Structure 1
Amino acid sequence: MSFKSIVRELREMKDGIGNISRRRGVEGRNWRNRTRSHIAPDVAPFEPSEEGQWANLPPELLWDIIRRVEESETTWPARTVVLFCACVCKSWREITKEIVKTPEECGRLTFPISLKQPGPREAPVHCFIKRSRDNSVYLLYIGLTPSGDESDKLLLAARRIRRATSTDFVISLVAYDFSRASNTYLGKLRSNFLGTKFTLYDSQPPNDASIQESSQHNRRFRAKQVSPTVPACNYSIANISYELNILRSRGPRRMLCAMHSIPFSSIQEGGTAPTPTSFPQSFGEKTSPSVSDVKETANDVGPRESLVLKNKAPRWHEQLQCWCLNFKGRVTVASVKNFQLVAAVDPSHNIPADEQEKVIIQFGKIGKDIFTMDYRYPLSAFQAFAICLSSFDTKPACE
């Protein structure tokens, strides 16, 4: 059943309930006029909710309506109606947040926090990136290929900023505001002078207290803050490095991604990756855990091994005379930027061979300025997008 039909039935039901309540209201007023002298003076009269008439629906009915909407609208742009339900009022928003599952569970992206949650374990999330050479902006959309009517759903945007000794990719939720003082700012990717090493910074503190303590040294602003509502730190959550190719040997780029915020146990049986549930309510609030929370986390987690990703080794094609990878039709143009990443597994980890060959993220070219990006658990869209951005930077020492 479509969302429009559900709303139509809901309105008819609401009109019926309204007629009954109006009839009961008239009877109630007559009763109050007859018994006014018997009513206690300290009883406050009933006041309707200030959130509107839609907030007064029975919780069971509201739960069923939003559940049916969430199940029927599975892809964009139809999935926007799920967001519309969450915007009606507070009660609708709370129930919608309870019904909508994480991308790991349902494979769908809904709320902005979904972009920082791990992707599905089975089928990857298909996205594509548009590059604008004029303003050095990179736009991440969800979908298999770009549509002709420009109705694609924008997930993330990044702008490249060249500096004297490094290059920054500022990542935002919108394509028109890349200010680090904005609420849409999510993080940044910074390279070294040669473009061979990158550090990914997140505007949110990681769940692991030990990582959080070691990554707070990079302040976004000086001691005198621009605004009290701006977060004071960037948190280092990953490092990306490209192997030098000084001798110009033949072959694709070789890269390693150390994901400090993701434990290696996440790809093992029964393992889980950190899954944030919401953004900080206010950037001015203290987001760092208390001392007791840090101790408890340290005792529970202890020293852990971070997940490391490496590029999947390609094979040499004799007829084409080039290195090839099986992108399953998602990449159509040969480019040095194309890559597939798998987990770097030590023999002592006892990981099955099929799990070792499972591609966690792949990136490739399909047009002049169009690239595909497919990612899966335990990476999030934000982390996968940052890894792909590192491939766009100039690397004369690696090619």
Structure 2
Amino acid sequence: MEMSFKSIVRKLREMKDGKGAERKHQRNRTRSQIVPHVALSDAIEQGQWANLPPKVLLDIICRVEESEASWPARSVMVSCASVCKSWRKITKEIIKTPEECGKPTFPISLKQPGPRESPIQCFIKRDKTKSVYRLYFGMTPSEDERDKLLLAAKRIRRATSTDFVISLVADDFSRASNTYVGKLRQVFLGTKFSIYDSQPPGDAAIQQPGPVATISYELNVSRVRGPRRFRCAMHSIPLSSIQEGGSAPTPKSFPQLFDDKSFSAPLSKAKDSAIDISSSGFSKSAMMVTSQEPLVLKNKAPRWHEQLQCWCLNFEGRVTMASVKNFQLLAEVDPSHNVPDPKQEKIILQFGRIGKDTFTMDYRYPLSALQAFAICLSSFDTKPACE
């Protein structure tokens, strides 16, 4: 079957536009003229593209997947999955998780762990006037502003706390929306935060709701000027995930009834508490999500540069401006644990300023984009008691 990728994409878009026009036409019909949903689905499924032989269809989608490595061209794979059931089934079989291919594609990939080796590189744009933060896929902002939006968050100040509501889109931050994916809540003087996921990952879902992660910034009691220090207890990720043969929870799909009231109710009733994540141990509430020992991340201590008279970290060129918000996170492990090599100190998440309101965010396994973004959001609040 000889057809260029551009021709395939054009046909896919034509079909998508045609479906939209058909749906609009159906809504305008009188009640007696409305075609039953099942019949309409069958009619779409019997289209010429749906009747392609499975081997031919598999070959087409495989070639498209190999050729479209990054966004916005990566959206072609989403278009393939939107054609019909047979296309969607094969596309979902071909598309691998970010851990396996290093590329986010479908929305669920934002809740799946990143790759184990090379990190996924992203950047965050801050809009101070609207208190909105947008996460984009890519090394740096593009000149034509065609960057792929992954997640967006809006800071909402309340009487007793501050919430960062996280959404799949940049203009809808309602908890009742089907684009709501989680939140970050400040629970104590801007030094303690809880991360909530609208859908607990993998087998971590239990009857008793609780945060999937907690972040604790250390108070600067001595008032000596220096960088912030903090720890993240990832209650939904077991420590065993970074050990040999271990794995992190990997959700495969969003709930079918994404906007069901019962789906978001437990989160609104959950009680936030200041959870102790010091090295001495964890409280019972911190162990609600997983019965295994959770993974704890700590910020890498910077070194003092005598010539520059400042604290420094090696960001490999990904951070270009000094800021108290800059950090690198690595796993906090006991030398006795069975880890590949504790001396290598693999950076799991790094975040830093490259412009007045632009920051880079690079994350890898076992963190997901949602978890990494929430951790970075905690760094934006002013913390006089910590620095």
Indicate whether the TM-score tops 0.5: yes
Aligned residues: 330
Aligned residue number for residue 266 of structure 1? 241
**CA drift at 1:353:** 3.6
**CA drift at 1:286:** 7.8
CA deviations on 1:28-69 (whole Å, 9 max, x unpaired) are xxxxxxxxxxxxxxxxxxxx8442221111111111100110
8 Å CA contact 1:206, 1:212 repeated in 2: no
Q: How far apart are the structure 1 equivalents of 2:112 and 2:332? A: 22
- Structure 1 residue aligned with 2:55, among 53, 60, 72? 60
- Structure 1 residue aligned with 2:190, among 195, 206, 217? 195
Larger radius of gyration: 1
**CA drift at 1:208:** 3.2
- Structure 1 residue aligned with 2:362, among 361, 374, 383? 374
The residue identity in structure 1 corresponding to 2:207 is: E
Q: How far apart are the structure 2 equivalents of 1:95 and 1:166? A: 45
8 Å CA contact 1:158, 1:175 repeated in 2: yes
- Structure 1 residue aligned with 2:131, among 120, 130, 136? 136
**CA drift at 1:147:** 0.8
CA deviations on 1:328-362 (whole Å, 9 max, x unpaired) are 00001000000000000112204344565100000
Corresponding position: 1:166 with 2:175: no
Q: Aligned ranges for residues 225-236 of structure 1 at < 5 Å? A: 235-236=210-211
- Structure 2 residue aligned with 1:305, among 279, 284, 293? 293
| 3-state secondary structure, aligned to 1:272 | coil
**CA drift at 1:394:** 1.8
8 Å CA contact 2:243, 2:338 repeated in 1: no
**CA drift at 1:302:** 8.7
| 3-state secondary structure, aligned to 1:371 | strand
Aligned residue number for residue 157 of structure 1? 152
- Structure 1 residue aligned with 2:95, among 94, 100, 105? 100
Corresponding position: 1:82 with 2:65: no
**CA drift at 1:162:** 1.1
Corresponding position: 1:212 with 2:206: yes
**CA drift at 1:255:** 0.5
Q: Aligned ranges for residues 265-304 of structure 1 at < 5 Å? A: 265-283=240-258, 284=260, 303-304=291-292
**CA drift at 1:275:** 0.4
Q: For the aligned residues, what is the CA RMSD?
A: 2.2
8 Å CA contact 1:2, 1:72 repeated in 2: no
Q: Aligned ranges for residues 331-346 of structure 1 at < 5 Å? A: 331-346=319-334
**CA drift at 1:146:** 0.5
Write out the 4+ residue segments of structure 1 that deviate beyond 3 Å after TM superposition. 5-10, 283-288, 352-356
| 3-state secondary structure, aligned to 1:64 | helix
- Structure 1 residue aligned with 2:6, among 4, 16, 23? 4
Corresponding position: 1:241 with 2:216: yes
8 Å CA contact 1:139, 1:158 repeated in 2: yes
TM-score by length of 2: 0.81
| 3-state secondary structure, aligned to 1:212 | coil
| 3-state secondary structure, aligned to 2:194 | strand
Q: How far apart are the structure 1 equivalents of 2:324 and 2:348? A: 19
Q: How far apart are the structure 2 equivalents of 1:64 and 1:181? A: 40
The residue identity in structure 1 corresponding to 2:78 is: L
Which 5+ residue runs of structure 1 have no aligned equivalent?
A: 11-47, 216-234, 289-300
Q: How far apart are the structure 2 equivalents of 1:277 and 1:66? A: 20
**Comparing 180-189 and 249-258, the one that deviates more:** 249-258
CA deviations on 1:167-215 (whole Å, 9 max, x unpaired) are 1000000000000000000010000241000000011134335x62332
Change (3 A) 1:86 1:201: same
8 Å CA contact 1:343, 1:356 repeated in 2: no
**CA drift at 1:115:** 0.2
CA deviations on 1:243-264 (whole Å, 9 max, x unpaired) are 0013221321000000000011
Q: How far apart are the structure 1 equivalents of 2:191 and 2:113? A: 26
| 3-state secondary structure, aligned to 1:115 | helix
Q: How far apart are the structure 2 equivalents of 1:394 and 1:302? A: 31
